[in-house]
Chain A
Amino acid sequence: MEARPGIMPTVRKPSTRSWALGLFALILVAAFVVSLSLGSVSIPLKEVFGILLGKPTLRASWTTIILNFRLTKALTAALAGAALSVAGLQMQTMFRNPLADPFILGINSGASLGVALAVLAIGATGSILLAGISTAGDLGLALAASIGAGLVLGLILLVGRQVKNPTTLLILGLMFGYAASALTSLLIYFSLPERIQAYTVWSYGSFSGVTWGQLMVMAPVILAGLAMTIFLPKPLNALLLGEEYARSMGVDVRWTRVFILLSASILAGTVTAFCGPIGFIGVAVPHLCRNLLRSANHKLLLPASALLGAALALIADVLAQLPGSQFVLPINVVTSLFGAPFVVWVIIRQRKGRTSFSI
């Protein structure tokens, strides 16, 4: 890869790299602590640490709030942020498209359709579905979303192996998405307003709805999806320069593509299943990392995206909780409203006319 230094993205010295990753990790830890200590109910920081260490508290409800509400929420936010950012990075590189996000292939629409079926079509299509969903216990909505996302993923993988051109794949994914969205709209159109509310709130996205029972499923799957990317820095770096070049580097493009699709879809699909469609983070964090680190090397970008994505999701969630007030905002409102100007600022400040996306 070092053979074409003129085109290949510059890679900083290893010392700079680990220094940057260390800083991101520190930000993540700080965001995690802030997320645990701020919320609608005001709990002193000393008490928060006391509860985490298993000490008795002034109020019994505080223990529940920290352990069953804020800790699950913080872990969920961190996992989701990391997963979406890594999935977004993979999609942007694979499609060589700076606007690509984790949901570009319609995973999101598939998950939404699954949830819409579970929430809205209960009764209308018979109560069997409801029975099935509620016996799944804690995993009801997540299960429905996973099935929807899984179906779309299956279709994409099936087509992905046949199609030569990634752009064709992109268009096909878009079409799957449209079809699934149309079916969702149809369900909404014929539903009770109270049920539509349940669906609408899900579609706003949230880290707060995940319980320990759900986290026990969500966390291992996301960690597995992240672990898969350990094998990907080299092929991704090669793909950045085009499939022909990657092939000449000895990369099995077809299988790499399937591997990337699988890992990115597992990551994005799982997050959507448990948290609803979370926008923006998946597009923005890879750009932020490229600009902050001035690098396009995936050895650096993959862990950096995971760390920064986790930290930013936590910070966004803290803002969404409007600390001190009883109210909450939808997470997507916060990520886009506060995140967009921030990313614009970083990109304008750091770009200096040269694109580090290197296309």
Chain B
Amino acid sequence: MKKTTRLMLLLLVLVLSACAAQPGPSNSDTAPVLRAYPVRYAQHFTLEYGEGYKKLTVTQPWAGATEALVYFLIPRGSPAPKEAGSAQVIETPVRSFVAMSTTYFPFLEKLGKLDALVAVDDATYAFNPVVREKAASGAIALVGGGAGGGSVNVEKALELQPDLIMTSASGSPELDAHPKLLEAGLPVVINADYLEQSPLGRAEWGIFIAAFFDLEEQAVQDFDALAQRYEAAKALTENLASKVSVFTNTDYQGTWYVPGGESYAALLLKDAGARYIFEAQPGYGAAPLAFEAVFDAAKDADFWLNVGFASDLESLLAMDARYVEFKAFEQGSVYNYNARVTENGGSDYFESGVANPDIILEDLIRIFYPDLLPEHALYYYQQLN
């Protein structure tokens, strides 16, 4: 029964495509692959090369997504390959780029393509000084509806006619920008870097971005060097006699969100040779623990990191006087990732940190074991005084 239905469907498709007298949609999965970039750390994209095209697949565009998104990248002016079928086709190299997240800036900068950036969603919380300057002068347009998500200014985006709009997606149409943009016929690509928990996996998405500029060779070289630096730093902490203990985040009115043991933050701590107090918390989401539970577990921990917006111990204490009871606070072993922030609160850790996990790791090792990296000066992190 099923087989017959499928056969009928196939027949229908064949007939229809013959009627259209054009190369009809065929199954893109069977496209002949000449070679593929061997993705090393990232889990949610693949890059393959076929005859006259590159095929980028986002295997999981958002948490819980059941279908992959496929993009065919072809040289500007050449016809769409028949393998593309109904998949999205994008002409490369792209000349104008719209970034709906600040985390794409450092990758563009590394490729020397920041001048292709014609619009961002919102520049209020951008850190990159070039982007901020251009946004202020109007050279970079604003097409978003605030950092809280919300509506995209489709009219503005249409007027710009960019070669590419890159955004992330949550999977719920009322929150996402891409359905409206796609509907308007704009070339939208979903970047799912935030789903990667491995710090190197997140940075590897630079190659995904570079593919649209036909600069992936350069990006692969950059990434290999970065991964080497990261692994070298990680190797320094492999034979430690004893490990320091660390906890993160702050209390919000009695609830303390604790990142899971498999989260991005926890993996960085682990690679830096620290014992994360809550490494047994399952998964990568943040669990809402009671303040007293965190206090009981982390009271005697050696270090306290990632304390929100606090930039000195006094303002941390102003949030909750009970923080003074932590040993890490008492000893002044409190570090925050806000050494590089703008007046508006735009944080470089959250912007370029994605592209530079090696520097974050070196920061952490320098904090935990200063003797291992005596030359390294803290970049994203600062000690609170």
What is the minimal beta-carbon distance from A79 to any residue of chain B, in angstroms? Answer: 16
B residues 193-235 with Cβ under 8 Å of A?
none
Residue of B with least CB distance to A187: B148
Q: In the complex, A70 Cα to B296 Cα: how many Å?
A: 13
**Are A192 and B345 in contact (CB-based, < 8 A)?**
yes
**Are A328 and B124 in contact (CB-based, < 8 A)?**
no
From A65, A138, A198, A202, B296 is in contact (CB under 8 Å) with A65
A residues 7-33 with Cβ under 8 Å of B?
none
Contact A123 B344, CB 8 Å, known A68-B322, A208-B290 = yes
With a CB–CB cut-off of 8 A, which chain B residues contact A276?
Answer: 253
Let me know if B32 is at the binding interface, CB within 8 A: no
What is the minimal beta-carbon distance from B368 to any residue of chain A, in angstroms? Answer: 24
**Are A201 and B252 in contact (CB-based, < 8 A)?**
yes
**Are A209 and B251 in contact (CB-based, < 8 A)?**
yes
**Are B325 and A202 in contact (CB-based, < 8 A)?**
no
With a CB–CB cut-off of 8 A, which chain A residues contact B321?
Answer: 138, 211-213
Let me know if A248 is at the binding interface, CB within 8 A: no
**Are A68 and B325 in contact (CB-based, < 8 A)?**
yes
What is the minimal beta-carbon distance from A99 to any residue of chain B, in angstroms? Answer: 27
With a CB–CB cut-off of 8 A, which chain A residues contact B325?
Answer: 64, 68
Contact A69 B319, CB 8 Å, known A193-B148, A326-B290 = no
What is the minimal beta-carbon distance from A57 to any residue of chain B, in angstroms? Answer: 13
**Are B318 and A321 in contact (CB-based, < 8 A)?**
no
**Are B289 and A192 in contact (CB-based, < 8 A)?**
no
What is the minimal beta-carbon distance from A59 to any residue of chain B, in angstroms? Answer: 9
**Are A211 and B320 in contact (CB-based, < 8 A)?**
yes
Q: In the complex, A211 Cα to B254 Cα: how many Å?
A: 10
Let me know if A280 is at the binding interface, CB within 8 A: no
Let me know if B86 is at the binding interface, CB within 8 A: no
With a CB–CB cut-off of 8 A, which chain B residues contact A190?
Answer: 122, 124, 146-148
**Are A69 and B148 in contact (CB-based, < 8 A)?**
no
Let me know if A165 is at the binding interface, CB within 8 A: no
B residues 107-125 with Cβ under 8 Å of A?
122, 124-125
Residue of A with least CB distance to B145: A189
**Are A207 and B254 in contact (CB-based, < 8 A)?**
yes
What is the minimal beta-carbon distance from A91 to any residue of chain B, in angstroms? Answer: 25
B residues 291-306 with Cβ under 8 Å of A?
291-293, 295-296, 299
What is the minimal beta-carbon distance from A60 to any residue of chain B, in angstroms? Answer: 8
**Are A328 and B148 in contact (CB-based, < 8 A)?**
no
**Are B125 and A327 in contact (CB-based, < 8 A)?**
no
**Are B318 and A137 in contact (CB-based, < 8 A)?**
yes
Report, as a range, how many residues of chain B touch the other chain. Answer: 35 or more
Q: In the complex, A294 Cα to B370 Cα: how many Å?
A: 71
**Are B124 and A124 in contact (CB-based, < 8 A)?**
yes
Let me know if B255 is at the binding interface, CB within 8 A: yes
Contact A327 B288, CB 8 Å, known A123-B345, A202-B252, A208-B253 = yes
Q: In the complex, A194 Cα to B124 Cα: how many Å?
A: 14
Q: In the complex, A137 Cα to B325 Cα: how many Å?
A: 17
Contact A64 B295, CB 8 Å, known A201-B252, A206-B253 = yes
> A322-343 interface mask toward B, CB cutoff 8 Å, 1 = contact, 0 = none?
0000111110000000000000
**Are A73 and B253 in contact (CB-based, < 8 A)?**
no
What is the minimal beta-carbon distance from B366 to any residue of chain A, in angstroms? Answer: 24
**Are B253 and A40 in contact (CB-based, < 8 A)?**
no
Q: In the complex, A10 Cα to B325 Cα: how many Å?
A: 54
Residue of B with least CB distance to A331: B254
**Are A328 and B254 in contact (CB-based, < 8 A)?**
yes
Q: In the complex, A199 Cα to B70 Cα: how many Å?
A: 38
With a CB–CB cut-off of 8 A, which chain A residues contact B315?
Answer: 134
What is the minimal beta-carbon distance from A47 to any residue of chain B, in angstroms? Answer: 14
Let me know if B343 is at the binding interface, CB within 8 A: yes
Contact A202 B253, CB 8 Å, known A70-B292, A327-B289 = yes
Q: In the complex, A195 Cα to B125 Cα: how many Å?
A: 12
**Are B293 and A41 in contact (CB-based, < 8 A)?**
yes
From A122, A136, A138, A328, B288 is in contact (CB under 8 Å) with A328
Let me know if A168 is at the binding interface, CB within 8 A: no
**Are B252 and A328 in contact (CB-based, < 8 A)?**
no
A residues 201-229 with Cβ under 8 Å of B?
201-202, 204-209, 211-213
Let me know if B36 is at the binding interface, CB within 8 A: no
Residue of A with least CB distance to B258: A326
Residue of A with least CB distance to B320: A211
With a CB–CB cut-off of 8 A, which chain B residues contact A65?
Answer: 292, 295-296
> B116-159 interface mask toward A, CB cutoff 8 Å, 1 = contact, 0 = none?
00000010110000000000000000000111101000000000
With a CB–CB cut-off of 8 A, which chain A residues contact B296?
Answer: 40-41, 61, 65
Contact A208 B254, CB 8 Å, known A69-B295, A134-B318, A328-B290 = yes
What is the minimal beta-carbon distance from B231 to any residue of chain A, in angstroms? Answer: 30
With a CB–CB cut-off of 8 A, which chain B residues contact A123?
Answer: 342-345
Let me know if A282 is at the binding interface, CB within 8 A: no
What is the minimal beta-carbon distance from B353 to any residue of chain A, in angstroms? Answer: 14
Let me know if A140 is at the binding interface, CB within 8 A: yes
Max count, chain B CB within 10 A of own CB: residue among A70, A123, A197: A123
Let me know if A167 is at the binding interface, CB within 8 A: no
Q: In the complex, A193 Cα to B194 Cα: how many Å?
A: 14
With a CB–CB cut-off of 8 A, which chain A residues contact B344?
Answer: 123-124
Max count, chain A CB within 10 A of own CB: residue among B253, B257, B308, B319: B253
With a CB–CB cut-off of 8 A, which chain B residues contact A191?
Answer: 146-148
Let me know if A39 is at the binding interface, CB within 8 A: yes
Let me know if A188 is at the binding interface, CB within 8 A: yes
Let me know if B184 is at the binding interface, CB within 8 A: no
Let me know if B287 is at the binding interface, CB within 8 A: yes
From B255, B290, B291, B318, A201 is in contact (CB under 8 Å) with B255
**Are B124 and A39 in contact (CB-based, < 8 A)?**
no
Q: In the complex, A197 Cα to B147 Cα: how many Å?
A: 13
From B122, B289, B322, A69 is in contact (CB under 8 Å) with B322
**Are A39 and B145 in contact (CB-based, < 8 A)?**
no
What is the minimal beta-carbon distance from B115 to any residue of chain A, in angstroms? Answer: 27
Can you list 13 A-B contacts with CB-CB less than 8 angstroms, sorted by A residue number?
A: A39-B292, A68-B322, A69-B291, A69-B295, A123-B342, A138-B321, A189-B145, A190-B148, A191-B148, A192-B345, A194-B308, A209-B320, A329-B288
In order of increasing CB-CB distance, the 7 nearest A-B pairs are A208-B254, A209-B253, A40-B293, A206-B253, A201-B252, A40-B290, A123-B345
Known: A40-B292, A122-B345, A198-B252. 14 other contacts (CB 8 A): A41-B293, A64-B325, A69-B292, A73-B254, A123-B344, A138-B318, A190-B122, A194-B309, A202-B252, A204-B255, A208-B290, A326-B293, A328-B255, A329-B288
Q: Which residues of B contact A (CB under 8 A)?
A: 122, 124-125, 145-148, 150, 251-255, 257, 287-293, 295-296, 299, 308-309, 314-315, 317-322, 325, 342-345
Q: Which residues of A contact B (CB under 8 A)?
A: 39-41, 61, 64-65, 68-70, 73, 122-124, 127, 134, 136-138, 140, 188-198, 201-202, 204-209, 211-213, 275-276, 321, 326-330
